[in-house]
């Protein structure tokens, strides 16, 4: 008798990470279903797509009833720290309210599915060393605070309603298709535009005196799949590269992709009200428990994005 394919429902499927995650699961034998705010989604790996607003409890519940998934993954989020400062209420509506709606829908299923909630390194209190899951959380942005609230909800629903909830604190990740609201694709887009012009150009940047841990999105979605395939629900896992580079170093890597002369200028409009100086992942827990090790170097990631845009 053939084993039934497991069904995965991804909220936020039309976003940057959603397409990569859908392909990761489809390539590993799952039936993938997607949902997002927009009317349709062109990700080929998705079997069926359902337009739904993550902040609408009934729409989320209806989507879950239609799919009857084995696994729900909530990627629907306002995930830009900068945008969260401009839209704090919307950030909490989507990131916290949306998570509640997903958890409510999960607990109302006859056979409650596993749930993966994606958190962020922005939850942590600043430290000048790689961050472990046991380190204190003390976010300094609306985005980070929303993700701490999401974690507390997950703990509550896991203990009170016996849901199998998987949680991550994901560090920065990038790749082809990420919007220019985020720093690295923004820089690469500017450099690609200068390259296409065939003339010297100016690259506008914000604060370069911070260090961040960046991974390729393809490594990150592989970690998500490995996590929900495990029995390690009810706990938090860091997902990152384990290497922090200054934005100045990353900028040099990106500028080197172009054959044109590029002048770098700091734009005061790109400076944030608050910027954690150093964020780096200690990924020893997920390496020890799941055997996850990042594989794709950032140089390869940057070249892929540049080729797509140049």
What value does the mean pLDDT of the chain take? 95
Closest by Cα among 232, 13, 233 to 103: 233
Q: What percent of the chain has pLDDT over 70?
A: 98
Say whether 210 sits in a helix, a strand or coil: coil
Map out the domains of the chain with their CATH numbers.
7-173+215-239 (3.40.50.720), 175-212+243-281+296-309 (3.90.25.10)
Residue 285 half-sphere exposure, CB side, CA atoms within 13 Å? 18
- Close Cβ partners of 216 (under 8 Å, ≥ 6 residues apart): 173, 174, 175, 294, 296, 297, 298, 300, 301
- Per-residue pLDDT at 2: 58
Alpha helices (runs of H) in the chain, residue ranges in sequence order: 16-26, 57-67, 81-86, 88-92, 98-107, 142-161, 183-197, 217-228, 247-255, 284-290, 298-309
In sequence order, the 6+-apart residues with CB closer than 8 A to the CB of 134 are: none
Sheet holding 244-246, edge to edge: 172-174, 211-216, 244-246
Start-to-end CA span in the chain (Å)? 51
Closest CA relative to residue 24, chosen from 11, 35, 10:
10
- 51's tokens: 């337009």
Phi/psi region, residue 159 (left: phi>0; alpha: psi -120 to 50; beta: rest), is: alpha
Pair 195, 310: CB distance under 8 Å: yes
Neighbours of 34 (CB within 10 A): 29
Tens-digit pLDDT profile for residues 98-142: 999 999 999 999 999 999 999 999 999 999 999 999 999 999 899
The residue with tokens 């919307």 is 90
Instruction: With a cut of 50, list the residues of the chain below it in pLDDT.
Output: 1
pLDDT given at position 203: 95
List all residues 6 or more positions away from 76 whose beta carbon is below 8 Å from its beta carbon: 11, 12, 15, 36, 37, 54, 94, 98
């Amino acid at each position: 008798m053939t084993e039934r394919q497991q069904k995965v429902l991804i909220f936020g499927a039309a976003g940057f990470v959603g397409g990569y995650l859908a392909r990761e699961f489809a390539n590993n034998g799952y039936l993938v279903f997607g949902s997002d705010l927009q009317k349709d989604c062109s990700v080929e790996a998705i079997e069926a797509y359902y337009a739904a607003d993550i902040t609408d409890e009934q729409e989320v519940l209806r989507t879950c009833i239609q799919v009857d998934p084995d696994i729900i993954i909530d990627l629907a989020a306002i995930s830009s720290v900068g945008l969260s400062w401009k839209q704090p209420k919307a950030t909490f509506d989507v990131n916290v309210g949306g998570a509640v709606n997903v958890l409510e829908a999960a607990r109302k299923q006859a056979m409650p599915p596993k749930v993966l909630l994606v958190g962020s390194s922005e939850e942590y209190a600043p430290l000048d060393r790689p961050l472990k899951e046991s380190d204190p959380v003390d976010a300094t942005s609306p985005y980070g605070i929303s993700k701490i609230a999401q974690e507390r909800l997950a703990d509550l629903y896991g203990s009170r309603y016996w849901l199998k909830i998987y949680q991550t604190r994901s560090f920065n990740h990038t790749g082809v298709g990420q919007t220019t609201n985020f720093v690295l694709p923004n820089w690469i887009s500017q450099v690609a535009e200068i390259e296409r012009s065939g003339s010297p150009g100016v690259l506008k940047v914000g604060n370069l005196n911070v260090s961040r841990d960046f991974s390729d999105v393809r490594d990150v979605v592989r970690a998500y799949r490995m996590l929900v395939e495990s029995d390690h629900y009810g706990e938090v896992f860091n997902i990152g590269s384990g290497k922090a580079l200054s934005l100045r170093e990353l900028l040099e890597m990106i500028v080197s992709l172009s054959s044109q002369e590029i002048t770098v200028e700091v734009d005061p409009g790109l400076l944030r009200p608050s910027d954690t100086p150093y964020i780096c992942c200690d990924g020893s827990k997920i390496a020890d428990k799941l055997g996850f090790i990042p594989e794709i170097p950032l140089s390869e990631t940057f070249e892929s994005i540049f080729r797509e845009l140049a």
